[in-house]
Amino acid sequence: MNNCSIHTIDTEFIFTGLTENPDLKIPLFLVFVIIYVIAILGNVGIIATIQLESGLHTPMYFFVSQLAMLDLFYTSIITPNTLVNLTRKVKSVNIAGCATQLLLFGGSATTESYLLAAMAYDRFVAIRQPLLYVTIMSSRLCKLLVGGAYFAGFLNSVIHISFTFALKYWKGNVIDHFYCDIPPLLKLTCSNTFLNRVFIFIFGGFSGAICMSTILYSYINILIAILGIQSGRSKAFSTCAAHLTCVFIFYGSLICAYLRTPSDYLHINDKIISVFYAVVIPTINPMIYSLRNTEVKEAVSKIANKYFFQICKRSYYRVATSSL
């Protein structure tokens, strides 16, 4: 008789979580709370700064604000649930919840890769065609690029989920991870996963090839253009430095997380890479754009001084009025 049909899981999965050591749960909880608060403040701060400062209402910062919104959503899919699970003995999720988490997380991650490619194209146009930049990178094109990134990202995620949850699971319902992801789910199935792994490499490789090709082409041409100018090189480099840093960090962790053979997966390494990929990157992206970008730092300073002055003025007025 087919054991697969007897033991197929149809209720819920159980996570092993980040650690089974009870002494580490409180420290990890505090660390994740701090990281999540920094992620929220950083990304909301970037969005607010761009909205409030008219000098940042350009295509480049439109993409930066979209990246911040995506990172805010991205980290909120995983981190709050991880915090809850650190306080629970049984860390369970039903099939629908697991599929939803996988859809949102996978879609957001793939969308981010396309968005980073769109940002590289934006920098390419700005440096290679500065006089036509505003014309080429119109509001309509920017919105189309962002919409296309979301469409491609979530279409990719839907395809993977369809194939993953079409499998039969019988090797227990314990996911050796702290959130729903494809590699640990495939370890639980008795079905042949060859097609699933092929799709991971094909669709992951296809998305990666498109995005990386766009980024490489853009930055090769940017480098040629920068080397050909006599002045303003440092400013041109500085506008690309933050984006390039985000690209290297994101794609480095993405390759480590997914584009490996099953034999390369190690228990502890998977979780460390996943923490970095799912939790840390959305936190450090706004820091990179704040610390490496002179225009953002100046805008933050300007807004802070403006609103601080207004608060001081109102406080002084209230004190002066009450003393009369």
pLDDT in tens, 89-131: 888 888 888 889 999 998 998 999 999 999 999 999 988 888 8
pLDDT at 79: 92
What's residue 10's pLDDT?
A: 53
Asked if residue 299 belongs to a domain, the reply is: no
Could you tell me if residue 300 is inside a domain? no
Coil, strand or helix at 19: coil
Is the pLDDT score of 149 beyond 70? Answer: yes
Q: Alpha carbon 38 to chain centroid distance?
A: 15
Domain assignment of residue 117, yes or no: yes
Rg (alpha carbons) of the chain, rounded to whole number: 23
Give me the chain's average pLDDT, please: 82
Q: Tell me the per-residue pLDDT of 204-224, one tens digit each, with 9 for 90 and over.
A: 778 888 898 999 999 898 888
Q: Is residue 95 part of a domain?
A: yes
Give the distance, in angstroms, between the CA of residue 207 and the centroid of all CA atoms in the same chain. Answer: 15
- For residue 244, the domain's CATH number is 1.20.1070.10
Q: How far is Cα 33 from Cα 39, in angstroms, rounded to an integer?
A: 10
User: 18-49: per-residue pLDDT in tens?
Assistant: 887 888 889 999 999 999 999 999 999 899 98
Burial track 280-313 (b if 16+ CB lie within 10 A, e otherwise): ebbbbbbebbbebbebbeebbeeeeeeeeeeeee
**Domain housing 266:** 3-292
**Is 315 part of any domain?**
no
Give a yes or no: residue 309 inside a domain: no
Residue 57 resides in a domain: yes
Which residue stretches of 21-166 are H helix?
22-52, 59-86, 95-128, 133-136, 139-164
Q: Calculate mean pLDDT across residues 267-293.
A: 78
Q: What is the pTM of this model?
A: 0.85
Residue 304 in any domain: the answer is: no
Domains contained in the chain, number: 1
**Percent of all residues in the chain with a pLDDT value above 90, rounded to a whole number:** 28
- Distance of alpha carbon 203 from alpha carbon 163, whole angstroms: 12
